[in-house]
Amino acid sequence: MRKIHQQLLAIGLALVATMATAQAKPVVIGSTNFAEQLILANIYAEVLHDRGVDVKKRLNLGSREIVYPALTSGEIDVLPEYTGALLAHISEGDEIPARKEKAVIKALKKALPDSLVMLKPASAQDKDALVVTRETADKYDLENFSDLAKVSDKLVIGGPPEMETRRVGLPGLKDMYGMEFASFRPLDAGGPVTTGALQNGDIDVARMFTTQGVIDARGWVVLDDDKELSPAQNLVPIVRKDVLTGRIRSALNAVSAQLTTAELQRLNRQVGVDKRDPAAVARDWVKEKGLVGG
């Protein structure tokens, strides 16, 4: 009998040790490869760490074509995402089922695999943008995408390599607006290579993001997507169901409640224009908003 008790005790201790090991596994926060994502991932890491969640960061991994599979496979557990862009990615090959904010959120929730959970979306939106200098806007009388379509064959456009194949990139611009550019230059995702190329005149049109502080700082013009090629893009945390706890949910929902488009623009300007470190910007912001303890 004593031997049986000892065996049961050993099994029980082994189970406790296994559970402790599983709980000790850090939650891995990932990001794609542009400054806003680095800021957001660091914000998530700061608030989760402050609430006692062991976190690990895997940042700057690449485009959504790389990062989303890493999330679905379990290589990362948490990812800051954009509702419309993620819906378009999941719906690849099909018509995007929604474009307005509430409809996009509802459609994304339905489209996500069972292994992933969409938390509370922020009011903040960061849309893909086509940006030109003030000189180009004045020369061709450009205010929106339809205006650009009339002269696109005279202009060079630059953006991330995936723009050449994404439905909200060059294929969509051609299908919806009839745009065909003189040439496409694969650059980065609205980063220093793209902004430098636009500033220097190496490209005429830059694919950037509406929340980038450098646009306002340099007096550039964001063209209006007048036929709504790009759906609503509310920022939202996507989390693997197998790591999601009430603590993680409440922490990240608290972040979303504080994130507005204006706040994103302010954060991006600190990194893109003022050249501050994304982790430092994130740390200051969560303290400023009372999302972490003193």
Write down the domain spans for the chain.
2-125+234-288, 128-222
The answer to whether 140 and 151 have CB atoms below 8 angstroms apart is yes
> Per-residue confidence at 168, pLDDT binned at 50, 70, 90?
confident
Assess whether the region 2-125+234-288 and the region 128-222 belong to the same CATH fold. Answer: yes
Give tens-digit pLDDT for 256-280. 999 999 899 999 999 988 999 999 9
- State the chain's mean pLDDT as an integer: 91
Q: How far apart are CA 51 and CA 19, in angstroms?
A: 20
According to the model, what pLDDT value does residue 42 have?
98
Chain-centre distance of CA 138, in angstroms? Answer: 32
Give tens-digit pLDDT for 11-46. 555 554 444 444 469 999 999 999 999 999 999 999
Give tens-digit pLDDT for 60-96. 999 999 999 999 999 999 999 999 999 989 987 677 7
CATH 3.40.190.120 is held by the domain 128-222 = yes
Q: What is the CATH number of domain 2-125+234-288?
A: 3.40.190.10
Q: How far apart are CA 165 and CA 174, in angstroms?
A: 12
What average pLDDT does this structure show over 246-263? 96
